[in-house]
Amino acid sequence: MNCCGLLTAQKEPVPLKSVEVELEVRDHVATVVSTLNYENKEDKPLEAVFVFPLPGDAAVCHFSATIGQTQIVAEVKEKQEAREEYDDALSSGQQAFLLEESEQSPDIFSLSVGSLPPGESASIRLEYVTELAVQADDGLRFCLPAVLNPRYQPQGTETALQVPVHVKTSLVPYSLSFSARVSSPRPVSKVESNCSLDPLQYLNPEQTQATVKLAAGHKFDRDVELLIYYKDAHQPTAVVEAGQASAKPGTLMGDPVVMMSLYPEFPQAVMSSVASCGEFVFLLDRSGSMGQENRIGSARNTLLLLLKSLPMGCYFNIYSFGSSYQHIFPKSVEYSQKTMEEALKTVEEMGADLGGTEILNPLEHIYSQPCIPNQPRQLFVFTDGEVGNTKEVISLVKKNSGSHRCFSFGIGEGASSALINGLAKEGGGHAQFITGTDRMQPKVMQSLRFALQPAVVDISVTWDLPKGVSVTVLSPPITALFQGQRSLIYAQLTGEVGASSKAAEGCVTVKYSLAGHPSQNQLHFSLKPAEDTGLTVHRLAARTLICSLEMEEKERRGEQDEGVKKKVVEVSVQSGVSSVFTAFIAVNKGDGEAVQGPLVRRNVPTSSESALLIVCPLLTKLLSLHLDSCPTILMSVSQTSLSHAFYILTFAPGTNSRSKRALVGSTAPKQTPRDPLLQLVSLQKASGCWVLDPALAASLGKTSEEVENLKLASVNQEVWATILALIWLHGFKVDAQDEWQLLAMKAVSWLRAQNATCVTECVEAGNALLGCNVQKDVLGL
């Protein structure tokens, strides 16, 4: 492991020395400033390439470099123009820096640090803004990725994705410091993390401002995840931000922009009835990387809960994919005891043994299946997100968004936020991330509850603004609404906004139809611009518009796409926000002496808790550039430009499945003792009831005799068994109620349908048997 890309060919340290990150969170928007400190310890000029991940919806808005005492600030330019300027600078001996977004996935950026003289240090400052996603427990999630997992390239992909070398944590030669400042109109109740934090420090008596930082000694061996909780957090809000003084009125940056945060509240009468229909399609990643941290085992347990929680009368199917894909049934089947048992038997045998991560083909097959009348299609996608054709996958989901809702789950460190969030956003569903020691089940069950909500249709947004003020909506149309979940709208305000009185108000109304009932939510807001917001709202609005235009350009590629591309470049350059068609370029054009000597390229590693299985056996060859004879590796170095000379490492077509399986090893499911909750759940019938048998008694921690002796003679065995199961769930697993709530509701519905007598006596006897004190009304009986 001493040759894992950490060292140069002469076994000298790589130049990245430290990473400093400052996070500022205002309500649900984060501004992140990262400083990367480099040092060239070689005796010749150095060009370093550092490939790193960012949130997929981040708006990169500042990039500067300090070399010695000289600071150069980057400009956003059209990508090819920026590359040519970078090349020209290097060939003339000038120092230059180039930052560009991957064309395959918007959450991967590559930074070229060009022509750093011997013994010189460089400090790179990168700033981006991003929205924070709302989690199942109402927390806001911020993630600083430490890991960029290798992205699987499907066969036939034209260009390989630039992939960094991963190394063991103990060998990462650079340090990380991380601090955060949080402020909100509402008090900050707590901040949690998967990493050790110093205690939260409040800055005012109202506790609306606070700071927190990583505890000393953090090794950056995992994603840094913060969960931020506010009191009475999710209230509708609107922030109006004044335009940039130097920008021309009528342009995006010159006009005020409003950011609306909407949290729809649905009528209780509608929400009390859970849907009893739908076609539920589960798509499970079984690539080799799912074998890490028993991700596949957690996914199997989650599918058990999902299948037990489905309503009678619905339809379902389960697909799994890797380099190829499989399905349990040729087409979706009606949910019954027989089909549920058949599916569970197949799920139990699933391992992480299907090679690579080709998600496009199974999605195309799912969408080719005709929808079932009166059974709305709900697609659940489980993946560790290691794909290279992210934009193509998201585009396919958007194309089919009218026929289904898509709920996505990113599993493990390094799951692509661009893929997971993009699937849910374009599929009108909801995205969840499961990392570290998180249990997958509660998050997935929350999404199932969303999927069982009636689909919201006929969504429209209308604006009521003072005379002389007009609005241009920058966000794509809202396609999905869920009870209590945030929807964001960005809009440009043109006209006499500043001239209006301070009391001037606007109003936005969201109208929609829910289960046949017309509904609406309104938000009144002040047109007075907020103070001290910088240009955060403008930049997020610009990024939203850029993403919409990029998607439109992809859909229209080949016909009039130049106009859309030109608009993207225009918005990107004007706002200073990155896009796939632009790049940040910084050149030191000072009068100093030209950098002398041949240029040496070094790839800077990113860390991973486990050494990258794919790369280790071949890294010695990688460092000496002797890979041309290895059939499973593709390496390309551009002949025209040093800025393109990335070492591109990926599996060659046709070798993914075999190579990945050989390196990952056998990932067949192992027989381990089942969690008591899952053991009880596994015994439930599709109808919702339990059967009185020795397996149930054992899962309750009793003998068959003990269970049968307390049963009332007049009570049906299945009624008694089901009441016992419900008492056990409420008595011993109330902390996991999010996981079993839906299947318990199904059990209660079954009990009511039996018109059972002596229910009160059964509950009393069940409490006595199990040592609980659960009241009948708590059970829903």
Cα 549 to Cα 562: distance, rounded to the nearest angstrom: 11
Cα 481 to Cα 479: distance, rounded to the nearest angstrom: 7
Question: How far out from the chain centre does Cα 32 lie?
Answer: 17
Token pair listed for 204:
């005012």
pLDDT tens column, 496-520: 775 545 568 899 999 988 878 888 8
Question: How many domains is the chain partitioned into structurally?
Answer: 3
pTM over 0.75: no
The answer on pLDDT for 615 being more than 80 is: no
Tell me the chain's radius of gyration from C-alpha atoms: 28
Cα 442 to Cα 446: distance, rounded to the nearest angstrom: 6
pLDDT of residue 12: 47
3-state DSSP assignment of residue 738: helix
Cα 384 to Cα 136: distance, rounded to the nearest angstrom: 19
Cα 12 to Cα 42: distance, rounded to the nearest angstrom: 8
The answer on pLDDT for 8 being more than 50 is: no
pLDDT of residue 574: 92
Instruction: Write the DSSP symbol of residue 197.
Output: B
Q: Which of 419, 450, 481 is the last residue of a domain?
A: 450
Q: Which amino acid is residue 178, in one-letter code? A: F
Asked if 22 and 134 sit in the same domain, the reply is yes
- Per the domain annotation, does 469 fall within a domain? no
- Per the domain annotation, does 630 fall within a domain? yes
pLDDT tens column, 657-682: 333 333 333 344 444 557 889 999 99
Q: Which of 450, 469, 486 is the last residue of a domain?
A: 450
- For residue 399, the domain's CATH number is 3.40.50.410
Range 15-21 average pLDDT:
78
Asked if 657 and 704 sit in the same domain, the reply is no
- Per the domain annotation, does 528 fall within a domain? no
Listed in order, strand segments (DSSP E) in 600-689 are 600-604, 606-607
Token pair listed for 175:
């340090």
Closest alpha carbon to 746 in 483, 516, 318, 448: 448
Asked if 31 and 92 sit in the same domain, the reply is yes
Burial track 440-461 (b if 16+ CB lie within 10 A, e otherwise): bbbbbbbbbbbbbbbbbeebeb
Question: How far out from the chain centre does Cα 147 lie?
Answer: 14
Cα 617 to Cα 612: distance, rounded to the nearest angstrom: 10
Query: Which residues is 211 bridged to in the sheet?
Result: 181, 201
- Per the domain annotation, does 263 fall within a domain? no
- Per the domain annotation, does 519 fall within a domain? no
- Per the domain annotation, does 206 fall within a domain? yes
pLDDT of residue 667: 41
Asked if 588 and 724 sit in the same domain, the reply is no
Asked if 310 and 197 sit in the same domain, the reply is no
Lowest mean pLDDT among 142-146, 359-363, 583-587: 142-146
Q: Which of 631, 664, 697 is the last residue of a domain?
A: 664
The answer on pLDDT for 14 being more than 60 is: no
Asked if 65 and 193 sit in the same domain, the reply is yes
Cα 46 to Cα 122: distance, rounded to the nearest angstrom: 11
Q: Which amino acid is residue 174, in one-letter code? A: Y
- Per the domain annotation, does 558 fall within a domain? no
Asked if 69 and 30 sit in the same domain, the reply is yes
Token pair listed for 356:
């690579």
- Per the domain annotation, does 520 fall within a domain? no
Asked if 722 and 658 sit in the same domain, the reply is no
Token pair listed for 475:
């966000």
pLDDT of residue 725: 95
pLDDT tens column, 34-52: 888 877 777 877 766 666 6
Full domain range(s) for residue 100: 16-150+161-231+576-664
Cα 114 to Cα 588: distance, rounded to the nearest angstrom: 10
Asked if 352 and 296 sit in the same domain, the reply is yes
3-state DSSP assignment of residue 546: helix
Asked if 423 and 352 sit in the same domain, the reply is yes
Asked if 21 and 120 sit in the same domain, the reply is yes
Lowest mean pLDDT among 111-120, 367-376, 397-406, 605-614: 605-614
Query: In sequence order, what are the residues at sequence separation of 6 or more whose Cβ sits closer than 8 angstroms to the Cβ of residue 210?
Result: 181, 182, 183, 188, 191, 200, 201, 202, 203
Asked if 643 and 764 sit in the same domain, the reply is no
